Amino acid sequence: MSIERREVAGGTRWRVRLHAGGRVVADRTFTTKRAAEAWERQQKEALHGGGFVSPQRSRTPVSEVASAFLLARAGQVAPHTLRTDRDNLASLPTKFAARPIGSIAEADVLALLTDLLGGRAHSTVSRVRTTLSALWTWAVRERWTPANPVRGVRMPSGSVQAHDGGPLTAPVLSAIIDAQRERSPHGALITEWLSLTGLRWSELRALRVADLQDVPFPAVRVLRAQSDGYAEKAPKSARGRRTVPLVTRAHEIAHEWASGKGPTDYLATSATGLQLRGTYFRRAVAWTTTSPEHTIHDLRHYAASTWLRQGIPINQVAAWLGDDPRTVLKVYAHVLGEAQDMEALRRLNGPLPSDSPDNASEHDPRKGGRPEEPRETGPYQGKSGGDGGI
């Protein structure tokens, strides 16, 4: 029999040993025979159905499985993705990482994400969830655990994460650029140019002089991206390759950068002529001092918001950003609603219509208004006496 009765100091115990291929693949002890039989049936069904996971493997700590996952992930995903996964897994709470991989349930994942939202931005925690889902998908395939508890957990709403300084407005941006110009005129131009074009930092540092065009209209062609410390690659999405028109000021700055350079040289460089690096740029313009409430990526949002406020259609803005129109609609819905609010406010501040009940009350004596003056519509209007008129 695969279920054995054993008498121990604490009472009767029931030991289950599951055999497969002539060897024991699972071994567990229970205090009741009923629990032992139920567990044996469950494991046999999983074994015959191809979903069996060794209990010994499912007791492996999350941290150990994560290490194996990252080793397998190397070479299969982009270096930037691998680093993100490594950072996300390294930041997991110690207690969570020490738990057996097979003991994590949906409730545990939801509690983890909710706790993380207490100190991190929603987008950051969402990336942690993506990493965890990839980890458990791999763990299920490699028979570390029977199920993926992350898949059934939606991101908690959490609180709305906003910068303490509020949205980046034109006066705030102007103050930032002025403050940066005192420290690095060259760096201030980079900040200004990003706010006018909506390019990502990785796209800006990969631009070449040959990507600048003057005809049929001033623009830059975004053909590649290169994050700090990584190899050059195609832009973020299939829509990433695009042409972004340049307003007069952005065109002037671009030509200033291109002066004296060859077609394959980087368009925007450091003050010493080297390829841009985020760390050096932030240090040059004292970013934490000149713009403590905003990020470089906020310059992209500022550009998109400006375009929408100026009446550029959503599809066109999405094309310039290299994003899906649905994403633009979701992210900038508050900007799109501003025009309706402004029009409504203009109407509220305007005069009431002539046929409004409130206007009519001004001439109705019964409502405290003054009597309406007679209006002459014919030769006898307003006359009295005589034959009584018509």
How far apart CA 182 and CA 176 sit, in angstroms, is 10
- pLDDT on residue 331: 87
- pLDDT on residue 90: 93
Answer whether CATH 2.60.40.740 is correct for domain 170-301.
no
- pLDDT on residue 27: 67
- pLDDT on residue 49: 58
- pLDDT on residue 26: 65
Low-confidence stretches of the chain (pLDDT beneath 50): 1, 160-164, 376-390
CB proximity list for 30: less than 8 A, separation 6 or greater? 13, 14, 15, 16, 36, 39
- pLDDT on residue 141: 85
Whole-number CA gyration radius for the chain: 34
- pLDDT on residue 51: 58
Closest to 26 in 3D by CA, of 60, 63, 55, 65: 55
The count of C-alpha atoms lying within 13 angstroms of the C-alpha of 294, restricted to the half-sphere facing its C-beta, is: 21
The answer to whether 220 touches 197, Cβ cutoff 8 Å, is: yes
- pLDDT on residue 336: 82
The count of C-alpha atoms lying within 13 angstroms of the C-alpha of 51, restricted to the half-sphere facing its C-beta, is: 8
- pLDDT on residue 34: 85
The answer to whether 39 touches 26, Cβ cutoff 8 Å, is: no
Residue 263: CB atoms within 10 Å: 10
pLDDT digits 0-9 by tens, 202-211:
999 999 999 9
DSSP state of 159: -
Residue 384: CB atoms within 10 Å: 7
Rounded-to-10 torsion of CA 154, 157, 158, 163:
120
What burial letters (b/e) apply to 35-68, b meaning 16+ CB within 10 Å? ebeebbeebeeebeeeebbbbebbebebbebbee
Sign of the dihedral through C-alpha 22, 27, 32, 34: negative
In the chain, where are the structural domains located?
3-52, 62-141, 170-301
**Residue that the structure tokens 């208004």 belong to:** 369
The CATH superfamily holding the domain 62-141 is Tyrosine recombinase, N-terminal domain (1.10.150.130)
How far apart CA 132 and CA 324 sit, in angstroms, is 26
- pLDDT on residue 310: 92
Q: Which amino acid is at 189?
A: L
